[in-house]
Amino acid sequence: MTISPSPLPLDFLHQHYPSATEQQWNDWHWQIKHSITSLEQLQKIIHLSDKEIQPISRLPIRITPYYASLMAKDNASQAIRRCVVPTADELMVSPGESADPLSEKHDSPVPNIVHRYPDRVLFLVTGFCSTYCRYCTRSHAVAKDQCHTHTSGWQQGFEYIKAHPQIRDVLISGGDALTMSDARIEFLLSNLRQIPHVEIIRIGTKVPAVLPQRITQTLLDVLKSYHPLWMSLHFTHPDEITPEVAQACTQLANAGVPLGSQTVLLKGINDEVTTMKNLVHALLKIRVRPYYLYQCDPILGSTHFRTPVTKGLEIIKGLRGFTSGYAIPHYVIDAPNGGGKIPLLPEYYIGREDNQVILENYEGKIFTYADSV
């Protein structure tokens, strides 16, 4: 099935890739091949601000033409643009920041496996990603070939999972696994499926948001032969939910893949209750269930992206009770030094008096509940 671009990307295609056809635009290989990776290319598409122009020669960039078509030409503070265009702020390193804030290397028993929780592992299967998010937790690993991109590099991972029967859930990440060929994805999934104790497989990916052309019928046919397969899709802002993205998610959902979303809370990008509400509502409409809202990890040069924790709590408070429970993600901090994801909730539990539990509802009204002793 081909995806018809909405008028906006087509105009963009004719303007910036005049010799390319609509069919090429809809081909994910073409999108990766023509991705923006240099200052020269970027300058032809948007008017760079002073703050943006300086660091780009030093910092790796990668933006698919599709995602670039969503960027505002003249507005450097537009959300989509801030997610992928580096600024001078990235060169400023603050205390507490680190290249590997989650100490994933420390929790890695064999290359490419992070085993932090008792019953599940993270399997980093490629270092390649189609689009570099400026706030990425694994920016230190992506594009720098820290992950084995050859199939032989996966063997130790398979062996480790096989040797640990307590692993019932394998979370595939990277890089982005959906940038691999259908054949490689099939090889990966079939090897994992041969391990009897692996109950569920999950793929964490940004591809449906930045490269929706990748969700082809042949990929869907591969994915649906390895159920139960779940996906966590990375979304940041309601402007990402275009007709192309809606179609990609609908096709994944129709292939029986339960879809969750992961969103990083980012200053000036999505740190308003209304923005977040628009995002979670748009996600539910395309059958993506908001799963996690992450406090931004303290990667090097991330100060300008990080909000106070009170902001995240305020957003959850502004959602709970005011909209569908299905729309509300878990707000978590992935604790530095390998503490794992720690959930944070506004204070609805006020305390107790004798056997009465004192609770505050979403409107700020106080209620008591007689607890059993």
Ligand X SMILES: *Cc1c(COP(=O)(O)O)cnc(C)c1O
Closest CA to 134 of 68, 76, 86, 69: 86
Q: How far is the CB of 229 from ligand X (least distance, A)?
A: 15
Among 114, 283, 299, 328, binds ligand X (CB under 6 A): 114
Cβ neighbourhood burial of 53 (10 Å; 0-12, 13-18, 19+): middle
- Reported as type and span, the H/E element at residue 233 is strand 229-234
171 touches ligand X by CB under 6 A = yes
Q: Residue 113 or residue 178: which is nearer to ligand X going by CB?
A: 113
* Chain CA centroid to CA 285, Å: 18
234 touches ligand X by CB under 6 A = no
Among 62, 116, 148, 306, binds ligand X (CB under 6 A): 116
117 touches ligand X by CB under 6 A = yes
Window contacting ligand X (CB under 6 A); options: 68-76, 110-118, 128-136, 183-191: 110-118
Window contacting ligand X (CB under 6 A); options: 52-60, 112-120, 213-221, 265-273: 112-120
120 touches ligand X by CB under 6 A = yes
Single-letter code of the amino acid located at 298: P
Find out whether 129 and 176 touch, Cβ atoms under 8 Å. Answer: yes
Q: Residue 122 or residue 255: which is nearer to ligand X going by CB?
A: 122
Q: Residue 118 or residue 351: which is nearer to ligand X going by CB?
A: 118
Window contacting ligand X (CB under 6 A); options: 114-122, 178-186, 272-280, 307-315: 114-122
276 touches ligand X by CB under 6 A = no
| Residues belonging to the active site | 116-117, 120, 129, 133, 136, 138, 297, 334, 341
134 touches ligand X by CB under 6 A = no
- Taking the C-alpha atoms of residue 338 and residue 48, their distance in angstroms, rounded to an integer, is 37
Find out whether 344 and 313 touch, Cβ atoms under 8 Å. Answer: yes
Query: Where would I find the beta strands (DSSP E) of 42-126?
Result: 113-117, 120-124
3-class DSSP state of 222: helix
- Taking the C-alpha atoms of residue 70 and residue 320, their distance in angstroms, rounded to an integer, is 30
Residues that bind ligand X (CB under 6 A): 114, 116-117, 120, 122, 171, 341
